[in-house]
Structure 1
Amino acid sequence: MPDKDAGTPRVFLIRHGETEWTKSGQYTGRSDIPLTKDGEQQVISSAGVMVGTGKIIDPSRITQLFISPRKRALRTYELLFSESIRHSFEGKVEITEDIREWDYGLYEGILPSQAKAGRKERGLDKERPWNIWTDGCEEGENPAEIKNRLDRVIAKIREIQGPYMHGEKPVDVVLIAHGQILRAFARRWLGFEVGVKLPMMLEPGAVGVLSYEHHNVEEPAFMLGVNMADKGL
């Protein structure tokens, strides 16, 4: 049976590899810390399986990349794609603050449990527990600010991919960013508010896939599974 959605453009969400703070669980927003050696190997391993001619992420099918300016994301880009492939991407790469990690404000560098304890000490959250997805961060970003910058990226992607819903031209897009912001991006892609309860996981160095149903730019979808031999055709 033919794949009814074959040829539909895809958006690949790539989380940077492990850092010391992803290991410890500390909030890492504006802090610019490097990948660990294990983090670099995570990305290299993902690249070996996922990236290449005829693989899921086929460089010849990529028309645009959006990359966070944090060095953990930039290093992930370097490890994911060889120098020759990166050279072929000239003019296709946008390094943008719109997909940098959530600004955690007062919570930068601390654990979620410490953030909650600090809020309690300051007399907050008396009526209900704090939820970053709906309440945001003190002296940091709130969900409305996250929504605004992610929607700008989504609008650009829809403009790129909209005319080619049936595979008339390869227009896959890659985002290389961070765990929290990519999960927020997936919510906005599907049309949900940032604060909607939609538990998702994205491990360091891992790849998520978004696309569209019925070759329709107005029907964005989450691709629950992909064939490891799928060429996107």
Structure 2
Amino acid sequence: MPDKDAGTPRVFLYRHGQTEWSQTGQYTGISEIELTPHGVKQVVASGKMLVGEGKLIDPTKLARVFVSPRNRAEHTFQLAFSDADKQALTDANKVERTERLAEWGYGLYEGLLTKEIRALRKDHGLDTDRAWDIWTDGCEDGESPQDVTARIDSLIEEIRAIHQGNMHGENPCDVALIAHGHTLRAFTKRWLGYPMEFPLSMMLEPGAVGVLSYQHHSIDEPAFLVGYGFPLEE
């Protein structure tokens, strides 16, 4: 964080590690697909580098850790944080498993590839003038963009209440979200005040961490950190 923004609360977006379906591009919502061995290595590597006292995600500075209820997110939390840090956070009632961070409900599209979804929708007489876009069209028998917006906005409201009054580091109040690719990108859009259909292209690799915060220590100026400068070692 630049010096002028030091102490401003942050939200860390921690995507779960690779699964067989994330590797193949299959849409994974409610299905409990476990991390691959490579996915485990991804999370262990990012956790070792980024999670711990004095590191980017410092457990002593966390006010809350919100975890998706899917196994792959829970496994990521277990791998990324040390046993001592997990115990301390749990004892302080700072860890919450919440459906608000579950992956987008894909409905009929669960387990399918994008090309298969578009073919299915064509068979259903949909998208006659343009290709399917989840951010605009949602999922048949699954969640609409409005459904996802409602649950994410509820979580953002709770996080902003935690941050309010702590914009200059008055109390440690960083927040970590451990969840999924679509959900975390949807969260970013809503954090910045954009509707789901806003064409904001984002990438977040399995096991990777993104950072959201605020400009000018202002709760009314949510922002994302395009790049993060790490402090020099003494």
- Tell me if TM exceeds 0.5: yes
- Tell me the residue number matched to 1:65: 65
Distance (whole Å) between structure 1 residues aligned to residue 49 and residue 227 of structure 2: 15
Determine helix, strand or coil for the equivalent of 1:65: strand
Matched residue of 1:63: which SS? strand
One-letter code of the match for 2:82? Answer: S
* 1:23 correspondence with 2:23: yes
Q: Which residue of 1 aligns with 2:167?
A: 165
CA distance in 1, matches of 2:149, 2:89: 28
TM-score (ref. length: structure 2): 0.96
Q: CA deviation at 1:78?
A: 0.2
- Looking at structure 1, the residues matched to 21 and 133 of structure 2 have their Cα atoms a distance apart, in angstroms, of 21
Once residues 77 and 163 of structure 1 are traced to their aligned partners in structure 2, the CA distance between those partners, rounded to angstroms, is 28
Where structure 2 has 5 or more consecutive residues not aligned to the other structure, the ranges are: none
Alignment of 1:97-176 (within 5 A): 97-176=99-178
Q: Secondary structure at the match of 1:89?
A: helix
3-state SS, counterpart of residue 12 of structure 1: strand
Alignment correspondent of 2:11: 11
Report the Cα offset of residue 228 of structure 1.
2.9
SS at match of 1:137: coil
Match of 1:93 among 95, 118, 131: 95
Unaligned runs of 5+ in 1: none
* Conservation of the 8 A alpha-carbon contact between 1:18 and 1:36: yes
Deviations 1:79-121 (A, max 9, x none): 0001110011020011000010000010000101000011112
Looking at structure 2, the residues matched to 128 and 38 of structure 1 have their Cα atoms a distance apart, in angstroms, of: 37
TM-score of the superposed pair, with normalisation by structure 1: 0.96
CA RMSD of aligned residues (A): 1.2
3-state DSSP class of the match of 2:128? coil
* Alpha-carbon distance in structure 2 between the residues aligned to 1:230 and 1:22: 35
Distance across 1 between alignment mates of 2:101 and 2:47: 21
Helix, strand or coil: the match of 2:165? helix
Identity %: 55
CA positional deviation for 1:230: 7.7
Aligned position for 2:222: 220
SS of alignment partner, residue 152 of structure 1: helix
